[in-house]
Amino acid sequence: MMQNENKMDHHCHLYGGKDDILIIRRAQEFKMTLHFNQPVNPIDKFQIEFYIGIDANVLNGTKVIVSFDSSQNVNWTGRMIQQLGDECVVGITPSANAIIGKYYTNVAVIGSNEISRTPKDTGTDFYLLFNAWASNDEVYMPNEEDRGEYVMNDNGCIYQMESGGGRQWFYGQFEEGILDACIKILDDSHMPLENRGDAVKVCRIGAAMMNSQDDHGVLVGNWSDDYSLGTAPTFWIGSDKILLQYANQGPVSYAQCWVYAGTFNTFLRCLGIPARVVSNFNSAHDNTGNIITDLIFNSVGNQLELNERLTRDSIW
């Protein structure tokens, strides 16, 4: 799968614990070396088949067939780069709206009466992510400095005071096990695979899954000052341990707004969606659920201060 070359070209070389598996980004060509049991002739017909999920189907994009003749798939494309004896190097370009996640691969040789497929081999599995470097991907960012910050940077500061004070946070999107944990979040949400190529839908599902309430998601919120049954929100210094604990044990206790925000930021950056944490102050908390900000005045028309607990900082 030419892992080292492809990972560097796709800015995926930092993912830890994935030395033996390919990680690439959609809408960008990656290379594969194919080995046959005899020299390849121009008249030989073969195709590469990519699958994601259990019941993969061409109709919903969970099965993709790439051929090297006039019958090419209109979304994913392939080209012959080099051919020498029984070995050839091909280039595959996934579509700009391809489903993100973990794929497995078959090579199918098409004979006159039948199709012969290679057995399933985990050595040809790969992860496909969103691509902020590809202009036809919806998450594209044109500026390299921005991509370096909002996709590749694994450290940051979460501000908690208007004066600029806050806490350092380790996002850790490239740490070992984090990519699998982020995909597990999508699996646990029961998000249909065919929707996982849509960055907006992935963001909405990911945001919902950060909260354990209703969705049995990642984090349990607690504003009571009693954290005896878990870890106090102020004790967390990064997202990596939270996501790994969730992947192994389920919902993690406890969180408040900056913990949710930091962990969600890790989820997005890990999957290739540019993201940052935003702090705002004097926030209006919609406790009544009516989407209205109330301004309260006294009998002579002077505006009264709102309850500080309802207007303090909020971090998203």
Domain with CATH 3.90.260.10 in the chain: 144-280
**CB atoms near residue 130 (< 10 Å):** 25
pLDDT digits (tens, 9 = 90+) for 104-126: 999 999 887 888 899 989 999 99
The pLDDT of residue 228 is 97
Query: CA–CA distance from 183 to each of 93, 242, 265 (Å)?
Result: 22, 15, 14
| 238 secondary structure, DSSP code | B
Tell me the CB-side half-sphere exposure of residue 137, using CA atoms within 13 A: 27
CA nearest to 252, candidates 234, 231, 237: 231
Tell me how many degrees the CA angle 176-51-185 measures, rounded to the nearest 5. Answer: 40
Domain with CATH 2.60.40.10 in the chain: 3-129
pTM over 0.85? The answer is yes
Query: Tokens in use for 68?
Result: 């090297």
The pLDDT of residue 111 is 82
pLDDT digits (tens, 9 = 90+) for 29-86: 999 999 998 887 777 789 999 999 999 999 999 999 999 876 666 689 999 999 888 9
User: For the chain, first and last CA: distance in Å?
Assistant: 38
pLDDT digits (tens, 9 = 90+) for 145-162: 999 999 999 999 999 877
Distance of CA 118 to the CA centre of its chain: 29
Tell me the CB-side half-sphere exposure of residue 80, using CA atoms within 13 A: 15
CATH for 144-280 (3.90.260.10, 3.90.650.10, 3.30.70.360, 3.30.1330.10): 3.90.260.10
Question: What kind of architecture, by CATH, is found in domain 3-129?
Answer: Sandwich (2.60)
199-209 helix and 178-188 helix, angle to the nearest 10 degrees? 90
CB-count burial class (<10 Å; 0-12, 13-18, 19+) for 290: exposed
